[in-house]
Each structure stands twice: as structure tokens, then as C-alpha cells.
């Protein structure tokens, strides 16, 4: 039998579904300039840890993710980037023996509190994975999947949502005449944009992207990076990447993790040109990882 995940919220939050909360000011000791310091925080982790059994893969992470900006998470393989990212929409729940400690706050509520509706949470916080994962269905059905789950039945409305989402993902022109064809027939880069459209179709507030371009060629990668630029502002984006240039190109803020610990967090341009920590410098200059 698969053991279910045990979440251990430290603070009990009021019961009920997720509600819009008060903005939290940017209080982390990070190196951020004044315009960032006053930004509304969308996700705040407070001494947040994630365990796989006895292994503490993310260790007491405290970080403020500002709203409407792009935050990159970098660090060597195995340092806990995906584990942290998956925690933000409780994807780790699916992994046996995985549990969290501390707080991860979204809209004034701990994401790991027992009363959180995980289905609703994942509609508000969408995810795009490293490998495109289209369902073996038509392009239309892939993108309409989430809205249908939400109860949208009206054909006209579904068509509008599908078209709008594919346009946001810059795929509409390429697929508008083949919406009924199987999504598995798309190229890798098209599949990834379709997965992005599928995530956008439920109108999320936050987009999590785990190495979204690592399986793509340079042209498709550039397309996704452009898209991230276009979606910036409208969505809060957290992207995990191994590609330093990509982090530098697309993100406003960068978090550097090492062995489960957040070593440094700050404005991307500062972190890449003038890191505070020696380990950050060693990593971004390619001395390890």
C-alpha cells in the first residue's frame, strides 16, 4: 500500500478554502533594491523543510517570492530545486514518505495546512514539467482538460478558452487547423507550448516551470524564453533551470541552492555579477556543479 504524505503545518490557519490575503512586505535579508523590497509577496516560505523519509532534501528554506515577477532557482543536481518547486503546488504529496515541515504561505494560508483544497490549489498554481507530458488526446481536449474539470461545458466558451490559451502560449497559428489531431503528433517544442497552454487554460496565478526547455532545441528554447517574458507581470513565475544564461536572461530574482540549503537569494543581475557568497560565485563561474 502507498503511504500517504503527512504534512506538518506549524501554525494553524483559519479553516476554509484559499482566500485572497493581505500583501506581505518583502522582508527577507536578501540583497534587493528598494523597488523590489516593497513588492507584494506571492509565496513566502518560512523555515520550510521537505523530507524523503529521513533525508532532509530542502533544509529550512526561507524565501519571499514576489508577485508578477520571474524567480529562477539554480543549483547543482540533487540540491533540492525540484523538490522545493513541487512543494508549491503540493505535487510532492504523490511521493510516498515525503513530508514537509515549516510553512509555505500563499494568500495568508499555509499551503500544507490540512484544510487546503489541493485541487483548487493546483488550479491557482499551475506547473510545466521538464518533459512535455501531453495526454494522448486531441490538442483541443488537452487544453480544455482543466476548464472541463472545473465544470465548463459550454462548447463556445471552451473554444474561446482553448483559443485564448493557445494564443498566450504562442502556438495558435501553428495548430488552429489541427485542433482535433492527437497532441502526440506535435514536435517537442510545440508539445511544451501546448502544455503551457494547458496550464494557462485554468487561469492560474502562479506558474511553476521545472527545466521547461532542457528537452528542446535552441529555437524552441528561445520561443519559451520569449513567452516567459510575455507572461511576466500577469503571472508569478518560478523557473528551475540548469542553464545559467537562461536564468540571467529570463529572471528578475535568482535563488541559489546547495545541498538543500538556500545559499543566496537576490536580484538576478546582482547575483550573477556580484554574488555575496563564495559558493554562489564558484557555481556560476562553473567551478562545480
Q: For binding to Mg ion (CB under 5 A), which residues are involved?
A: 82
Minimum Å distance from CB 49 to ligand ATP? 12
Instruction: Tell me the torsion sign for CA atoms 140, 207, 191, 230.
Output: positive
Q: Which is nearer to Mg ion, 60 or 76 (CB)?
A: 76
User: Per rule CB under 6 A, is residue 161 in the interface with ligand ATP?
Assistant: no
User: Per rule CB under 6 A, is residue 128 in the interface with ligand ATP?
Assistant: no
Determine which residue in the list 9, 66, 80, 146 makes contact with ligand ATP, applying CB under 6 A.
Answer: 80
Using a CB cutoff of 8 Å and minimum separation of 24, what contacts does 274-283 make? 276/31, 280/256, 283/74, 283/75, 283/76, 283/256, 283/258
Per the CB < 8 A criterion, the answer to whether 18 and 111 are in contact is no
Minimum Å distance from CB 81 to Mg ion? 5
User: Per rule CB under 6 A, is residue 188 in the interface with ligand ATP?
Assistant: no
User: Per rule CB under 6 A, is residue 95 in the interface with ligand ATP?
Assistant: yes
Size of residue set near ligand ATP by CB under 6 A: 11
User: Per rule CB under 6 A, is residue 82 in the interface with ligand ATP?
Assistant: yes
Residue 41, binding choice from Mg ion, ligand ATP, none, Cβ under 5 to 8 Å by partner class: none
User: Per rule CB under 6 A, is residue 279 in the interface with ligand ATP?
Assistant: no
User: Per rule CB under 6 A, is residue 54 in the interface with ligand ATP?
Assistant: no
User: Per rule CB under 6 A, is residue 246 in the interface with ligand ATP?
Assistant: no
Q: Which is nearer to Mg ion, 162 or 239 (CB)?
A: 239
Residue 30, binding choice from Mg ion, ligand ATP, none, Cβ under 5 to 8 Å by partner class: none
Determine which residue in the list 39, 81, 101, 168 makes contact with ligand ATP, applying CB under 6 A.
Answer: 81
User: Per rule CB under 6 A, is residue 233 in the interface with ligand ATP?
Assistant: no
Q: Which is nearer to ligand ATP, 23 or 289 (CB)?
A: 289
Residue 146, binding choice from Mg ion, ligand ATP, none, Cβ under 5 to 8 Å by partner class: none
User: Per rule CB under 6 A, is residue 45 in the interface with ligand ATP?
Assistant: no
Selection from 69, 66, 30 nearest residue 270 by Cα: 30
Residue 175, binding choice from Mg ion, ligand ATP, none, Cβ under 5 to 8 Å by partner class: none
Per the CB < 8 A criterion, the answer to whether 105 and 9 are in contact is no
User: Per rule CB under 6 A, is residue 172 in the interface with ligand ATP?
Assistant: no
User: Per rule CB under 6 A, is residue 52 in the interface with ligand ATP?
Assistant: yes
Chain positions contacting ligand ATP, by CB under 6 A: 52, 57, 75, 77-83, 95
Amino acid at each position: 500500500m502507498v503511504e500517504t504524505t503527512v504534512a506538518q503545518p506549524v501554525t494553524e490557519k483559519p479553516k476554509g478554502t484559499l482566500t485572497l490575503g493581505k500583501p506581505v512586505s518583502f522582508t527577507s535579508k536578501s540583497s534587493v533594491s528598494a523597488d523590489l523590497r516593497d513588492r507584494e509577496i506571492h509565496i513566502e516560505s518560512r523555515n520550510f523543510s521537505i523530507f524523503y523519509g529521513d533525508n532532509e532534501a530542502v533544509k529550512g528554506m526561507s524565501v519571499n517570492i514576489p508577485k508578477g515577477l520571474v524567480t529562477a532557482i539554480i543549483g547543482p543536481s540533487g540540491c533540492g530545486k525540484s523538490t522545493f518547486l513541487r512543494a508549491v503546488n503540493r505535487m510532492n504529496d504523490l511521493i510516498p514518505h515525503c513530508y514537509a515541515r515549516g510553512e509555505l504561505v500563499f494568500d495568508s494560508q499555509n499551503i500544507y495546512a490540512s484544510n487546503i483544497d489541493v485541487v483548487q490549489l493546483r488550479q491557482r498554481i499551475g506547473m510545466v514539467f521538464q518533459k512535455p507530458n501531453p495526454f494522448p488526446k486531441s490538442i483541443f481536449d488537452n487544453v480544455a482538460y482543466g476548464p472541463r474539470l472545473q465544470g465548463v461545458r459550454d462548447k463556445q466558451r471552451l473554444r474561446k478558452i482553448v483559443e485564448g490559451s493557445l494564443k498566450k502560449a504562442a502556438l495558435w497559428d501553428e495548430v488552429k487547423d489541427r485542433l482535433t489531431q492527437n497532441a502526440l503528433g506535435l514536435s517537442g517544442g510545440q508539445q511544451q507550448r501546448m502544455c503551457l497552454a494547458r496550464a494557462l487554460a485554468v487561469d492560474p496565478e502562479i506558474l511553476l516551470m521545472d527545466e521547461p526547455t532542457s528537452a528542446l532545441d535552441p529555437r524552441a528554447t528561445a520561443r519559451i524564453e520569449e513567452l516567459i517574458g510575455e507572461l511576466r507581470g500577469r503571472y508569478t513565475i518560478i523557473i528551475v533551470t540548469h542553464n545559467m544564461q537562461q536564468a540571467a536572461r529570463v529572471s528578475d530574482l535568482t535563488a541559489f541552492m546547495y545541498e538543500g540549503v538556500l545559499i543566496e537569494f537576490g536580484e538576478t543581475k546582482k547575483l550573477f555579477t556580484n554574488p555575496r557568497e563564495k559558493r554562489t560565485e564558484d557555481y556560476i563561474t562553473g567551478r562545480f556543479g
